[in-house]
Amino acid sequence: MNKSASAQPKSLLATAWAALPEAVRKLDPRYVVKSPVIFVVWVGSVLTTVLSVLHPSLFSISVTIWLWLTIVFANLAEAIAEGRGKAQADSLRRTRTQTTARRLSADGTEEAVPGTDLRPGDRVVVEAGQLIPGDGDVVEGIATVDESAITGESAPVIREAGGDRCAVTGGTTVLSDRIVVQITTKPGETFIDKMIALVEGASRQKTPNEVALGILLVTLTVIFLLAVIALQPQAIYSGDHLSLVVLVALLVCLIPTTIGALLSAIGIAGMDRLVQHNVLAMSGRAVEAAGDVNTLLLDKTGTITYGNRRASQVFPLAGVDRAELLAAARDSSLADLTPEGRSILDFVAGERGEDPGDHTEVTPIGASFVPFTAQTRMSGIDLADGTQIRKGAGSAVAQWVSDGGGATASDLAGIVDQVSSAGATPLVVAARTADGTPRALGVIELKDVVKPGMADRFAQLRAMGIRTVMVTGDNPLTAKSIAAEAGVDDFLAEATPEDKMALIKAEQSGGRLVAMTGDGTNDAPALAQADVGVAMNSGTSAAKEAGNMVDLDSDPTKLIDIVAIGKQLLITRGALTTFSIANDVAKYFAIIPAMFVGVFPGLQALNLMGLHSPSSAILSAVIFNALVILALVPLALRGVRYRPMSASAMLNRNLLIYGLGGVIAPFIGIKLIDLVVALIPGLG
């Protein structure tokens, strides 16, 4: 996703003003009926409008206006959330460019056809400077591709045939070389088309939790409706008569209008927060499932660890100075362009107090480099003075020393075994001077380094009640060592696709929800089986089709953030539901005593707020009921701040803040509004 498109608006007020026409348009009953609670308010507004026309009074007109504003504010919350998605969709539409494709025929000749004529199975040639005409997989060649139109990242990526990084997206640009792409989607069903539909909300459906909460709100509305209907006979029996305007005002204030108004906006905003993290959720169900996840399957390489082995320590042999070993390790790695070789230079620089990564050393004059080969399993350097330095596998270097007439140090085997048992890779360094015999100097430890802060993040997940499982193809010894260092709860070593599937099914059979990441075709079955399957955008088309989320940045660690966003969505919905229902308790004390105080003066004792008059009390409650929706829109869009903690601690915290706060806020708000209303002639 283009990050400029997904950026937060600078002014919520400006966004609300722009969304106001859409909110007014949604007063159409064909739209309002989709939200039963707000539809009840709509029916009540129509009824009070008719009564205000037939029997006009300042009180009835005021109540009617604020009832309509209640619906407008409810629509406004959803319109603002939808407006953000539409802005992102417009940005994506601008990336779609009609292209001419160079389609390959069966005999290998090319023909120019419009991109809209391409069908799954067609093969097209794309060269440097050309747009990829449709979604597909690279089946021939390798190229750098500019995907900034999709991901917002300016750095090009490598796409090549025959691997897990073969998928390309229509509308992206090839920067170098030539590739042949096999189209996998029909026109109108491309990845960008799906993104547009999803971020616009056009394909958003209510999630199971949302449907269940909706049923609860309808049930509460029906209960309050029956209760309000029953009040009129009681009033008549007591010698009083309640106007329909008062009854409608009471109903609207008692039913859960606040959460009913914000429910849809909360769901849309949750998906929008994922989009802002460059994650595309294929459904709201996936976002909610992320919030309920019990088990996380995380790939070791690139997620928990850096992915490339890095020098982490050196072990000089007996009688060898550490500085001598570091110098030999450095010299032998000057021409080693592998990540491991660069990491040795970084490590030596750090040991010497130099800046890691600054490898501007001048190549020694007359030196010749010895490249690594599978046969020798060594690399190194031959200096002009006849000195030879080698580094490589322990057995290979020991053989080189032995062939030169040297003897293997007695403590070498022990150090090599020690490094290997810790799950790391030992590289032995040896040197031979021009007038001497070769001798081993020591061992460099290469290990797949765990990323900083991972142990803390896993501890946070554990506090949330989430079990973490590291999945790796490493042997059990290496996997155990890295799992212990990273702080994961469990690991699966030498994992095959079948092993991943079996693990997911075993977790799910115990009633747990599972999330995992993947990018390869071999990950597709597990991604499809997982409750939350996050496919990397750099991966294969099969993986992206199998998952229910796509990470446009292809960052496996983002799975942890996805879980946090899913939990934030559920917490926000629960917190605002608690606040809404707690509000009703306070509004009850504002309206009920005011309605019957004329018949039962003793009810004045329940007028805890000390409201001025029955009419001001009722109108103040209606005004507060409308304004509280508007006040909670920013919270619904931003989400309640999520902090990793146990479910019981989270429940107690939300009950204290949003339950108690929901009771107290109306007492203060209604009282302040009443002070203003009381000053208006005809209302006080």
| C-alpha–C-alpha distance, residues 267 and 275, integer Å | 13
DSSP per residue, 612-658: S-HHHHHHHHHHHHHHHHHHHHHHHHH-PPP----HHHHHHHHIIII
Dihedral (CA of 492, 498, 504, 510) sign: negative
403 is known as an active-site residue:
no
| Nearest alpha carbon to residue 392 among 363, 359, 438, 425 | 425
8 Å CB contact between 548 and 282: yes
| Nearest alpha carbon to residue 644 among 466, 454, 495 | 466
| Nearest alpha carbon to residue 74 among 259, 249, 209 | 259
DSSP per residue, 424-462: -EEEEEEEE-TTS--EEEEEEEEEEEEPTTHHHHHHHHH
| Nearest alpha carbon to residue 281 among 116, 85, 499, 137 | 85
CA-to-CA separations, 177 to 118, 438, 682, in angstroms, rounded:
22, 46, 80
Burial class of residue 36 (count of CB atoms within 10 Å of its CB; 0-12, 13-18, 19+): middle
The residue from 299, 474, 553, 674 that is catalytic is 299
8 Å CB contact between 209 and 573: yes
Please count the residues of the chain.
Answer: 684
* Tokens describing residue 528: 């499809």
Beta-carbon contacts of 103 under 8 Å, excluding residues fewer than 6 positions away, are: 110, 111, 112, 113, 118, 122, 123, 124
Active site residues: 299
